[in-house]
Amino acid sequence: MNKKGWWLMLLIAICGIQTVRAQGETPTDAKATPETLSLYKNLLKLQHEGMMFGHQDDLAYGIGWVYEEGRSDVKDACGDYPAVYGWELGHLELGDAYSLDSVHFDKIQGWIKTVYERGGVNTISWHLRNPLTGETSWDTSSKEVVRSILPGGEKHALFLTYLDRLADFLNQLKAEDGSFIPVLFRPFHEHTGSWFWWGKDLCTVDEYKALWRFIVDYLQKEKSIHHVLYTYSTDRFETEAEYFERYPGDDVVDILAFDLYDRGAGYSEALKYCASVVTAEAKKRSKIAAVSETGGPIAQNTEWWTKTVLPSLRPYDLSYVLVWRNPWQPASHGAFAPYKNSPDSEDFVRFYNDRKTLFQKEVSKLKLYE
C-alpha cells in the first residue's frame, strides 16, 4: 500500500473509533427524547469542566419559610440558585396530594418546570411505602418485600399501582412547547445499607437487580417514558466489589453515584475513595458520576465547604454534589445547606466563587438541553 493508502486506512480507523465512542455516549434508553439525549451528552462533557451544586427541595422551603415564590436558602446565602434541584416523591404512590415531607406534588411539578426553563437539572428520589406492610420506607421488619412485589408476588398488583402513579407524575412533566422535561431518577437508593426495605440484608442480589430492571422496563415499555436518566446510588462503600455487588447493569444505569454524610472521623478519606471509584468507573463506561447526597455539621464546622468538601472532591470529574434538605419543621437533622446569615455562609460564598463549582447562572448559559 502506498503512503496515501496508509493515511486513508488510518483515517477510517479513527472514524470507526469515534463512532463506537459516540454510540457509548448516549443514555441507556435507546428511545430517549432529544432533550434527554442532549442532557446526557452535555452532563458527560460538563463533568470534566466543573461540579454542579445541588440542594434537595431548594425552592420549596428553607429555614424559617415555606412556599415563598422565588426564594431559596442557597440564593439567600450566595446570591445564586443551585444548578441541581432534588425532589422527593414519597407518598405519591398512595395517591396523596403531598409528600412525606409535606410538599405538594403539583407544586413540585411547577418547580421542575421552573428549573428546566432556567436550564437547571432536576433529580428525583422516592422514599416509597413498604408495599407489603403498608409502613414507611424504613420498615425493615420483613425480608419478603422485594420478592412480594416482583412479577408473581402477592403485592405485585399493588406495586404496579405505585408505578402507575409515578408514571402519571412523570408524564405530566411538560415544557411550554409540549416536550417532556428530562429528569434524573434515583430509585431504591442507599441499598448497600439495610435501613430501607430494599436494603442489602432485606433482599437478595438477584431480587434487587430484578426489581431495578422491572421498573425501568415497565416505565419505558408499558408507560412509554423516555425522558428519564437512571441513577444508581449506593451508600458509602469500602471496595469496588461492594459498590457493584447489586449493580443491575450498564444497560439500565446512566449515572453512577453514592450518598455519603459527614458523621465525623474518616469522612474526607471515604469521600475521596468513593469519588475515585465512581469517576474512574464512569469514565470507563462513558457514564456520568455524582455524589447524590451529602451533608455535614455546618453549624459547628463553619468552613466545611472549603476545608472538607472542596479539597476532597476537587481532583475528581464529578457531575454534581447534592446536599440534603433544610427542614422547615424540626426533623431528625438540621440544615444541610447554608441559609441567610447561617454561620457557614461566608465560607459557602468562597465555595460558590471557586472555579470548581457550578451554580445556576453559569449552567443556564450552557444550554444543557440543546
The yes or no reply on residue 66 touching ligand BMA (CB under 6 A) is no
In angstroms, give the least distance from the CB of 55 to ligand BMA: 13
Contacts (CB under 6 A) with ligand BMA, residues 28-57: none
Q: How far apart are the C-alpha atoms of 92 and 97, rounded to whole Å?
A: 7
φ, ψ for residue 262, nearest 5 deg: -80, 100
The yes or no reply on residue 63 touching ligand BMA (CB under 6 A) is no
The yes or no reply on residue 329 touching ligand BMA (CB under 6 A) is no
Beta-bridge partners for 121: 84
Contacts (CB under 6 A) with ligand BMA, residues 75-94: 88, 90
The yes or no reply on residue 23 touching ligand BMA (CB under 6 A) is no
**CA-closest candidate to residue 326, choices 76, 90, 69, 52:** 76
- Measure the N-to-C terminal CA separation of the chain; round to a whole number of Å: 44
* Contact present, 149 and 155 (Cβ < 8 Å): yes
Name the residue nearer to ligand BMA (CB basis): 57 or 76: 57
Name the residue nearer to ligand BMA (CB basis): 27 or 86: 86
Q: Choose the catalytic residue: 35, 88, 93, 190.
A: 190
Name the residue nearer to ligand BMA (CB basis): 124 or 163: 124
Contacts (CB under 6 A) with ligand BMA, residues 267-326: 324-325
Contacts (CB under 6 A) with ligand BMA, residues 331-370: 331-332
Q: 3-state DSSP call for residue 292? A: strand
Q: How far apart are the C-alpha atoms of 309 and 287, rounded to whole Å?
A: 23
Residue with cell 468513593: 274
Please classify residue 116 by burial: count the beta carbons closer than 10 Å to its beta carbon, then call 0-12 exposed, 13-18 middle and 19+ buried. buried
Has 293 been annotated as catalytic? yes
Has 281 been annotated as catalytic? no
**CA-closest candidate to residue 58, choices 339, 341, 313:** 339
Number of residues that bind ligand BMA (CB under 6 A): 9
Instruction: Candidates 63, 94, 100, 349: give the one binding ligand BMA (CB under 6 A).
Output: 100
Q: How far is CA 157 from the centre of its chain?
A: 27
Instruction: Candidates 127, 143, 174, 223: give the one binding ligand BMA (CB under 6 A).
Output: 127
Residues designated catalytic: 190, 293
Binding site for ligand BMA (CB under 6 A): 88, 90, 100-101, 127, 324-325, 331-332
